[in-house]
Amino acid sequence: WKTSVLFKVCDHVIERYDFDKEDRLKKIIIELSPSAIGKSLADTMNELGKKHENRGKSFWCLFVHEKVLAVYENLLEKNPEDENLQRNLGVSLNNVGRIYENLGEGEKALEYYMRSLEIMESLEKKEPGRTDWQSDLGVSLSNVGRIYESLGEGKKALEYYIRFMEIMESLVKKEPGRTDWQRDLGVSLNNVGRIHERLGEGEKALEYYMRDLEISESLVKKDPGRTDWQRDLGVSLGKVGGIYLSLGEGDKALEYYRRALEIRRLLVEKEPEVVDRYIGLAFALLDMSRVTEDEGMKREFVTEAYTITKSLVDSGVTHLQLVDLAKILSL
């Protein structure tokens, strides 16, 4: 009966965004063994975990994703040759790794990401023609690369990012109409560009950023209502602006930063419940403060970024980028 109650509470929380039921849900989950949950309910719990990520509640989200991980491990013990379960386990490992990454625990995140990568590489080797598994492998490579980047190992990160990029280029060539793969190709180009930027290779970084920007603009034109694609475009514009600023072309940087800020404001209006939207807006405001010559405007941008950041910190949001913002603004 507890499994049935859990399913109903999960559905209630997700459908109505009713997070007053969190405590009740947590008590039920704690008492349930992984074997009692099953795949269907694990999938529902995954959705719940994603909702919590949007709210910046990383500790609760980690609790949910770790429980789901235990479910898939239990299912695989009974069916070790089931490739779909192996794939689900790989995705689950990525979910747990991502939360540890958001909490600033890079080394721990890397453990989960490497386990996921091992699974995805194994699946892709069994059936190299499975494009869905190639895509999953690309995601795992990107995750590992991002951790190495955060640990200051840029050249090691670049190896994983380039493998990710090569996979996505191959997939987009096979099915150029797949917008999800176009989007992932853009992400991979951004990753490679970012490493070249950190290595002081601005011109080379700009090449990758401009290719990413072209993809992001194309996707937004196809579906202007997709907030995730708008978010990607905001990131791309900010990256290009940053390179032009580093190359001493302030006017050009201002042009891209201004467009990025407009998008970030729009995203907060559209999705006020998503924490990432506020963090992105705060960074865009700080970017504008770096290129604005008017001292009054500069103060306004910094003050607004400070207000947003302080509000998130005071509300108990846990997010790695929020930590960076707080440091920049001396909070």
What is the pLDDT averaged over residues 171-198? Answer: 95
Higher pLDDT, 28 or 299: 299
Residue with tokens 């990568």: 117
Residue 198, CA distances (Å) to 141, 152, 292 in order: 19, 10, 24
* pLDDT higher than threshold 80 for residue 12: no
pLDDT at 14 over 50: no
DSSP state of 21: G
pLDDT at 271 over 90: yes
Instruction: Check residue 35 and give its pLDDT.
Output: 60
Mean pLDDT across 181-199: 96
Q: How far apart are CA 16 and CA 18, in angstroms?
A: 5
pLDDT reported for residue 1: 46
User: Distance from first CA to last CA of the chain, Å, rounded?
Assistant: 47
pLDDT the model gives residue 245: 96
Question: What 3 state SS string does 272-290 have?
Answer: CCCHHHHHHHHHHHHHHHH
Largest CA distance in the chain: 66
pLDDT attached to residue 238: 97
Find the mean pLDDT for residues 130-145: 95
Residue 262, pLDDT > 80, answer yes
Is the pLDDT at 73 greater than 60? The verdict is yes
Minimum mean pLDDT range among 8-17, 130-139, 240-249? 8-17
Both tokens of 44, joined, read: 């529902």
Determine if residue 56 is left, alpha or beta; phi over 0 gives left, psi from -120 to 50 gives alpha, anything else beta: left
User: pLDDT tens across 84-134, in order?
Assistant: 889 989 999 999 999 899 888 999 999 999 999 999 999 999 988 899 999
Share of the chain above pLDDT 90, in %: 67
Supply the pLDDT for residue 54: 57
Closest CA to 321 of 19, 92, 53: 53
> Three-class SS of residue 36?
helix
Q: Find the mean pLDDT for residues 295-318.
A: 94
CA angle, residues 65, 68, 73, in degrees to nearest 5: 125
Give whole-number Cα distances, 161 to 36, 84, 142, 146, in Å.
39, 25, 6, 8
- On whether the CB atoms of residues 217 and 229 are closer than 8 A, the answer is no
The residue whose two tokens read 């080379």 is 204
d(CA 259, CA 285) in angstroms, rounded, equals: 11
Please tell me the distance from the alpha carbon of residue 305 to that of residue 94, in angstroms, as a whole number.
31
Report whether 87 contacts 99 (CB < 8 A). no
**CA-to-CA distance for 61 and 64, rounded, in angstroms?**
5
- Flag whether pLDDT at 254 surpasses 50: yes
What does the pLDDT read at residue 321? 86
Q: What is the pLDDT of residue 164?
A: 97
Residue of 143, 154, 151, 155 lying closest to 119 (CA atoms): 143
What pLDDT sits at residue 57?
60
pLDDT score of 220: 97
pLDDT of the residue at 309: 96
Residues contacting 322, CB < 8 A, separation 6+: 56, 275, 279, 309, 312, 313
Q: pLDDT per residue over 16-69, tens digit each?
A: 555 555 565 666 566 655 665 566 666 666 666 666 665 556 566 777 788 888
Rounded-to-integer distance, Cα 117 and Cα 107, Å: 15
Mean pLDDT of the chain: 87
For position 209, what pLDDT does the model report?
98
Say what the pLDDT of residue 318 is: 77
